[in-house]
Chain A
Amino acid sequence: MITLKIDGREINAEPGKTVLEAARENNIYIPTLCVNEAVAAYGACRLCMVEVTRGNRKRLVASCLYEVAEGLVVETRTERVVNIRRLVMELLLARCPNSSEVIEMARSMGIDSSRFQSEEDDNSCVLCALCTRVCREVVGKSAISLVGRGTNRKVALPFCEDTDACIACGSCVYVCPTGAIKMEDNGDVRRITWPSSTHEFKMKKCASCGSYFAPEKQISFMIQKTGLEAEKFDLCMNCRP
């Protein structure tokens, strides 16, 4: 066990844990947008910045990536930390002025407006890459990725239209913290809208009740992954014995 100090409290943590994990285990709140236990830490949103002191040096680090160390002193609420978080939040707010999740998070930090000029288009993607990370690490398809750089960076399919790898499972939709990816099931069609393009996928019909219950490509992927016979996937959840 490692002993460190967070906000003046002595805390024990297992080696290899991050400062964020240690803080959360001890009910110390650090805001985050890009953290999800399903995927590896990434350090994209920069909301989890904290100030660490080692010896005589103080520095700002992303707590979701910074590992605990013996004798580490962490401050999560100093003026410097609050200022930097405010800056990050205002940048996010300027990027996503219409995203209710971002607005709500800003409010909880006491921020109503941004000092930066707001983007005009209806963007709510904060480029946290949770969608691409889930697609890669959890689903194992890597159908979408972050493309371009700088102000042109966005979440997209290859060439903004190649759906070959996508199984339409919707994991990216569920994991998105700001609702930037939309999904809609309409009869035999599932429509997914990424920030760069919209695509439609065929749904599979239940052999018994006739309702459309899952995308055909997702079912094929599950057949291939599990090695079970295709007939096992003919029925929807409600019709299964």
Chain B
Amino acid sequence: MPEISVKNETLNCILDRYKRDRGQLISILQDIQAEYNYLPREAVKFVSSELGIPLSQVYSVATFFKAFSLQPRGRHTIHVCMGTACHVRGAAQILQQMENETKTCCGETTKDGKFTLESVNCVGACALGPVVVVDGEYAGQMTVNKVKPLLEKYD
């Protein structure tokens, strides 16, 4: 997937929202992530020079938190729960089926930029297990057969 072109006005708008306060670096990065669905390299460099924080420090923060991604991500994020309760009810097969249907490996983004497939260790909805969360929407009692219809709902 090609990198998205970054608009300086958008970034300036986000920076102004936090009064260009260095202490708000994480909030700023979160807003950029929300805007582009990932942290484009240009944006990370722009934030570094505008806030006067060395690029290495911004990069350090951006790689530390799992909420940030430095790779372009799909329009929809699929989280397959691999927690204990989901695991014993066949989460592994659900994930396998997800990988087959999206033709991508866990942790990666589909070629058409539609989905990013990830596993998580518990989403706290064990009673619904096995659970799959797409863009924050929970799909409980998943089965291998329900995978395809679920994915077809998104475009």
Name A's B-contacting residues (CB within 8 A).
Answer: 132, 136, 141-149, 156-159, 162, 164-165
Contact between chains at B41 and A136 (CB < 8 Å) = no
Distance between Cα atoms of A144 and B70 in the complex (Å):
18
Q: Which residues of B contact A149 (CB under 8 A)?
A: 63-64
A143-B54, A145-B54, A145-B59 are known; give 17 further A-B pairs, CB within 8 A: A136-B54, A141-B54, A143-B56, A145-B57, A145-B60, A147-B60, A148-B64, A158-B44, A158-B55, A158-B58, A158-B59, A159-B70, A162-B55, A164-B55, A165-B54, A165-B55, A165-B56
Contact between A157 and B56, CB atoms less than 8 A apart: yes
Interface string of B107-139 (1 = CB under 8 A from A): 000000000000000000000000000000000
Chain B residues with Cβ under 8 A from A146's Cβ?
Answer: 60
28 CB < 8 A contacts A-B: A136-B54, A141-B54, A142-B54, A142-B56, A142-B57, A143-B54, A143-B56, A144-B56, A145-B54, A145-B57, A145-B59, A145-B60, A146-B60, A147-B59, A147-B63, A148-B63, A148-B64, A149-B63, A156-B59, A158-B44, A158-B55, A158-B56, A158-B58, A159-B41, A164-B55, A165-B54, A165-B55, A165-B56
**Residue tally, chain B, CB below 8 Å to A:** 12
Chain A's closest residue to B64 (CB) is A149
A147 to nearest B CB, angstroms?
Answer: 4
CA distance A164 to B56 in the complex (A): 10
Residues of B with C-beta under 8 A to A157? 56
Which residues of chain B have a CB within 8 Å of any CB of chain A?
A: 41, 44, 54-60, 63-64, 70
Cα-based distance from A143 to B56 in the complex (angstroms): 6
How far, in angstroms, from A157 to B59 measured CA to CA in the complex?
9
Which B residues touch A141, using CB under 8 A? 54
Q: Which of B44, B56, B57, B59 lies at the interface centre, i.e. has the most chain A CB atoms within 10 A of its CB? A: B56
Chain B residue contacts of A145, Cβ below 8 A: 54, 56-57, 59-60
Bound-state Cα–Cα, A142 to B57, Å: 8
A155 CB to closest chain B CB (Å) equals 10
Report Cα–Cα, A132/B56, bound state, in Å.
Answer: 9
In the A-B complex, list the 4 residue pairs whose CB atoms are closest, starting with the nearest: A142-B54, A145-B56, A145-B60, A158-B59
Expressed in whole angstroms, the Cα–Cα distance for A141 and B64 within the complex equals: 21
Q: Which residues of B contact A158 (CB under 8 A)?
A: 44, 55-56, 58-59
Tell me which residues across on chain A come within 8 A of B41, comparing CB atoms.
Answer: 159
